[in-house]
Amino acid sequence: MTTAERQRKAQELIRPQLPPELSRRDGRCPFDPAAALTELSGQGRVHRFEQADGDVVWLVTGHEEARAVLAEPRMSADRMNSPRARRVISPELHAEMFPPERRAGSFIFMDAPEHTRIRKMLTGQFTVRRMRDLTPRVHEIVTSHLDAMVEKGPPADLVRDFALPVPSLVICELLGVDYGDRDEFQERTAKLLSLDATIDEQIKNATGLRVFMHSLVRSKQAAQGDDLLSGLVRDTDLSTDELVGVANLLLIAGHETTANMLALGTFALLEHPGQFAKLRDEPELIDNAVEELLRYLSIVSMGVARHAKEDVEIGGVTIRAGETVVVSVPAVNRDPGQYEDPHALLVDRPRGHHVAFGHGIHQCLGQQLARVEMTVGFTELLRRLPSLRLAVPVDEVPLRTDMSIYGVHRLPVTW
């Protein structure tokens, strides 16, 4: 068996195996979770599945139970060293798949105290005040792309012309990445997030991104600027490998998730013309609308995985040490016990505690930046293009059902 074949087999073994119909959006509504997932959610809040090899995976669909899992220190985010990973692959293959340089800086897959050490160094760079101070620049970026769309005239692809370049340019400026390199990191990121990519392709693109970011980190170590990455080089004791890992995470998360929220959020508003009109005519609702779109769309295709370090009781069931738990974000954010009429998009819905950004110590570090970008993006889009509408039938909009971050590949619009 070749190295690539061994790695592929190992990935198949350590990845939680849940029925595919629970994550497969069936097309009846492009914004709803899989029908089977919604049906399962109505039957309980914590669900047990047994994998082919006898291992147990728990799927959490209840809001209260999800927050309990995500806040529980006995639940580990360290997938690289989970009991299942250690059990099903040899030490040699484990070292091959998860070398120290690949793990370094990947704080979203770490537990305290390692996670705490890195997160504290980053928190000062992502203060609410700093993100709000970025608002004028975000506004400039948004309006310049809308100006270009208007000047060119309809039709347009909202993904290509607006939703993707806006957060990409913002995160490039924030990190100090040359925007001219965007094609490379966007292409590599897309392949990393593809559900159809082979492990060989994922390893190749992950390696390519690390090489790309390693060069950038070295340049910041030689000459710092006023960007975030320079600040981390100057003000922290993160190693070079840790800086590369952190920067990679921020770059990927900083453009991919927000881009899909801007595009899919616009698509959702266009397919709910009453809500589109309400938000257009009452722009003061934008804060509520952003939180509602985050809740309603829940673009993480399946969920967030943890494993129990010891026996833990969640929702009246005991999860044994070593067992895997998956928090189903789309189901949790549609929990009828938490939200009235949860399957409705209501831009004036009172703000609630959704888990689109997670919960607990791993809650998304860049959530305030994402909120700024969506607030400015949706406000200006509806103000500048009040007659915006789809340029193709709804069933011709290509959905990202092949990606771990849901959205649309293209969104043809006119006005």
Prior bond to 73 cis, omega within 30? no
Instruction: Determine the 3-state secondary structure of 275 from DSSP.
Output: helix
DSSP string, 242-265: HHHHHHHHHHHHHHHHHHHHHHHH
Structural class in CATH, domain 3-414: mainly alpha
Beta strands at 324-327 and 56-60: parallel, antiparallel or unpaired: parallel
Per-residue pLDDT at 13: 56
Q: How far is CA 153 from the centre of its chain?
A: 32
CA angle 179, 181, 187 (to 5 degrees): 115
Q: In this structure, are residues 238 and 307 in contact, taking their beta carbons and an 8 Å threshold?
A: no
Tokens (6 digits) for 80: 């690289």
Tokens (6 digits) for 126: 């992502």
Per-residue pLDDT at 11: 61
Indicate the length of the chain as a whole number: 415
Residue ranges of the alpha helices (H) in 20-62? 35-41
Q: How far is CA 117 from the centre of its chain?
A: 22
Residue ranges of the alpha helices (H) in 42-127? 63-71, 83-88, 91-97, 100-103, 114-123
Instruction: Determine the 3-state secondary structure of 113 from DSSP.
Output: coil
Tokens (6 digits) for 121: 């160094």
Tokens (6 digits) for 142: 């948004």
Radius of gyration of the chain (CA): 21
Per-residue pLDDT at 369: 94
Per-residue pLDDT at 23: 84
Nearest to 47 by CA among 319, 373, 406: 319
Q: In this structure, are residues 117 and 371 in contact, taking their beta carbons and an 8 Å threshold?
A: no
Per-residue pLDDT at 303: 85
pLDDT digit of tens for each residue in the chain (415 aa)? 566 565 555 565 556 778 888 988 866 799 999 999 999 999 999 999 998 778 899 999 999 999 999 999 999 999 878 887 777 777 777 777 777 877 888 899 999 999 999 999 898 888 878 888 899 999 999 999 999 999 999 999 999 999 999 999 999 999 998 888 888 778 878 877 877 777 677 777 788 888 889 999 999 999 988 899 999 999 899 999 999 999 999 988 888 999 999 999 999 999 999 999 999 999 999 999 999 999 999 998 778 999 999 999 999 999 999 999 999 999 999 999 999 999 999 999 999 899 999 999 999 999 999 999 999 999 999 999 999 999 999 999 999 998 889 999 999 999 9
Instruction: Determine the 3-state secondary structure of 324 from DSSP.
Output: strand
Per-residue pLDDT at 98: 74
pTM over cut 0.85: yes
Per-residue pLDDT at 9: 57
Per-residue pLDDT at 100: 80
Per-residue pLDDT at 26: 67
Q: In this structure, are residues 269 and 169 in contact, taking their beta carbons and an 8 Å threshold?
A: no
Nearest to 209 by CA among 186, 232, 228: 186
Per-residue pLDDT at 92: 75
Q: In which element (H, E) is residue 266 found?
A: helix 240-270
Tokens (6 digits) for 278: 């309400």
Q: In this structure, are residues 368 and 122 in contact, taking their beta carbons and an 8 Å threshold?
A: no
Per-residue pLDDT at 71: 97
Q: Return the domain boundaries, the chain.
A: 3-414
Give the C-alpha separation, 147 to 360, whole Å: 40
Give the C-alpha separation, 345 to 327, whole Å: 22
Tokens (6 digits) for 67: 């927050």
DSSP 8-state symbol, 147: H
Q: Which residue has the tokens 């974000």?
A: 329
Per-residue pLDDT at 233: 93
